[in-house]
Amino acid sequence: ISNDKSIDGVKDSIKLEDNVKINNFYNYSVSNGADAKYERNNSNVIEMGLSLPNKDSFLVYKTEVIVLQDTSYAISDISGLPDNLEYEINNYDIGSKICDDKDSNKCNWGALKEFEITIRYKDLGYKEDNINYDINLNVSFNTFYNIKYEDMLSTGLPLEGIKGRNLVIDFKDDVPEALEIVQNDVILINPDNYTYIDGKLVIFEVDNDIIIKKVVLPKDEDNKGDNKEEIIDKPNNEIPKKEISVEDMTLEEKIGQMIIVSASGKGTSLNNNFKKEISSVKPGGIIVFGDNIASYSQLTKYMNDINSLSDIPLIWSIDQEGGRVQRISKLSDMSVTKIPAMYELGKTNDSALAYDVGRVIGEELGVFGFNMDFAPDLDIWSNASNTVIGNRSFGTNADVVTKMGIAVANGLSSTGVIPVYKHFPGHGDTAGGDAGDSHFLLPKITKSIEELENNELKPFENAINNGAKVIMVSHLDVPALTEQEGIPASLSNKLINGYLKDKMGFNGIVITDSLAMKGITNYYTPQEYLVMAINAGVDILLAPDNPTNAVQIIKQAVLDGRIDETLINKSVTKILKLKKEMNKKRYDKSYLGSNEHKNIINRIK
């Protein structure tokens, strides 16, 4: 290396493809029975094997990063951990410069930065049958861009930022009346490229030097009240839709209305494949997940783009329960209200507070145009080892779950968001671990019908009496209600038509839990479960795999006489009626993380 006088020569000598790389990664310490099995690394990928045998186990790894030349680098992201694990970095902040020595010139040639990464379980992340992990961590490095201000003071404002991330500028009490923001000689557009939040300018995913210019607006009386930002920012969820009846629709169009398509895994913008799928299926609705959510303007545009493809208003659904299930918390540029787990709310036994919490959730969902929330969870946490529900439940007895669950639902309804009561007939008494989780298997409930009626079914009975519009049926084996071993509740004619509808008197919409879950797909083909569900009394099929094929499977079953088309017509009639009751209220983005909402949540002790 001493003979190489250029940076390129140095890079070639030490096998460095870029000006930054992970130089070393090794286990430093373990705690509470944890075990480090192996570590390997290359320029930006860390491979490791580890064991975390109990919920308090953790490991600490030493990490070395080399930076060459005078280019400023930062770690912008570390990804690849399983969903139930988390990391913490000591001696380094994500997004800060790896070499930032302002008092000498050592960064001109580079530096070696050492820091520690601790890996542990998230809250409720521990599962006793899943303690060994093989992990590939991807470390993203990025350089910095410069920020130039024109016609305005820059004192206290950032002069650079890391590429690929949102830039947040806090003007404090000196917010410019109007700005022009230029990147790559292109003027950025509000809200596609930036927005304002509580006096802060947020510019999305900056990737090059930018210029921020103060613009002086003309003092013209005609401009009073002209707030272009609010007009542009407002989610376009009230696109005029034509009135349509079942008689006007083809068989395929009717089947499409019975399907809610999953957006999971399909990105944060409307790509061509998803566009083709929506145009082909003409679904009744979309379910949005955390991986579809990046920022306010992104999510607003994403939903508007999809809305434009549908002649019939869409059901926009999401899981926003609180605790570990709250999808819109993925917004990177907006501070949304963080809702505690419903078990914490249940401990207050305050139904007025529960109503307000439901209203908070609904108002913040209404900012984007979501009109259906897969909440509240009416499962009773009667098995302490049950983890799939756990603290998602309001409590361990029927009275608390009924009182608090219905109150949250009423709060949601007051905002125009349809609550979906789940997971009928009750998922809170299944076993711990994967054996009791319908995401992985078909759990079994062995209680008698009398035991179920005295406990699990009570909250749903009260919800029906309270005017429930939608109930989600789970993938559970409940022989006392299905009168058959091994058939999921979501596919059982005895349970849905015979018990839920006929005996309990529910005349609203029945929706399945996700049809991508292994509690269904491990045991049935799409040709089987789609036909069984509709014949059992299901109105909406949630997230079937390959919805385009699902439409054709159901169509063929109707043509073959295996499904009576009158069942399709009855379901679509109910769905269209529900849609007329949606989209009644709208909320602007000031509701997100508002002080009023935070004060309500702070009442949960």
Whether residue 425 is preceded by a cis peptide bond, meaning omega within 30 degrees of 0, is yes
Annotate 44-77 with DSSP letters as a single string.
SEEEEEEE--STT-EEEEEEEEEEETT--EEEEE
User: Active-site residue 475, yes or no?
Assistant: no
Residue 424 phi/psi, 5° resolution? -55, 135
CA 303, chain centre distance (Å): 14
Angle at alpha carbon of residue 336, lines to 403 and 379, rounded to 5°: 30
Cβ atoms < 10 Å from Cβ of 605 = 8
| Separation of alpha carbons 521 and 441, rounded Å | 9
* Catalytic hit among 198, 226, 439, 502: 439
Q: Are 126 and 150 in contact (CB under 8 A)?
A: no
User: Active-site residue 12, yes or no?
Assistant: no
Six-digit token string for 269: 């913008």
Rounded to 10 degrees, what is the CA torsion of 574, 575, 577, 583? 150
| Separation of alpha carbons 67 and 416, rounded Å | 53
User: What DSSP character marks residue 498?
Assistant: I
Residue 80 phi/psi, 5° resolution? 115, -5
Residues 6+ apart with CB under 8 A from 116: 28, 60, 61, 62, 63, 89, 90, 91
Antiparallel, parallel or unpaired: β 259-262 and 541-542? parallel
CB-count exposure of residue 346 (10 Å: 0-12, 13-18, 19+): buried
Q: Are 201 and 152 in contact (CB under 8 A)?
A: no
Angle at alpha carbon of residue 364, lines to 600 and 173, rounded to 5°: 80
Q: Are 363 and 415 in contact (CB under 8 A)?
A: yes
Cβ atoms < 10 Å from Cβ of 81 = 16
Buried b (16+ CB within 10 A) or exposed e, 454-488: ebbbbbbbbbbeeebbbbbbbbbbbbbbbeeeebb
Task: In the chain, count H helices and then E strands.
Answer: 17, 25
What are the angstrom distances between the C-alpha of 251 and each of 258, 309, 512? 11, 19, 21
The arrangement of strands across the sheet holding 110-121 comes to 20-31, 58-68, 110-121, 85-90
Angle at alpha carbon of residue 198, lines to 194 and 201, rounded to 5°: 30
Which of 219, 37, 230, 17 minimizes the C-alpha distance to 134? 37
Annotate 366-390 with DSSP letters as a single string.
HTTT--EE---B------TT--SSG
| Separation of alpha carbons 233 and 347, rounded Å | 39
* Catalytic hit among 379, 513, 539, 597: 513
| Separation of alpha carbons 99 and 142, rounded Å | 13
Query: What phi-psi label fits residue 110: left (phi over 0), alpha (psi between -120 and 50 degrees) or beta?
Result: left
As annotated, the active-site residues are: 439, 513
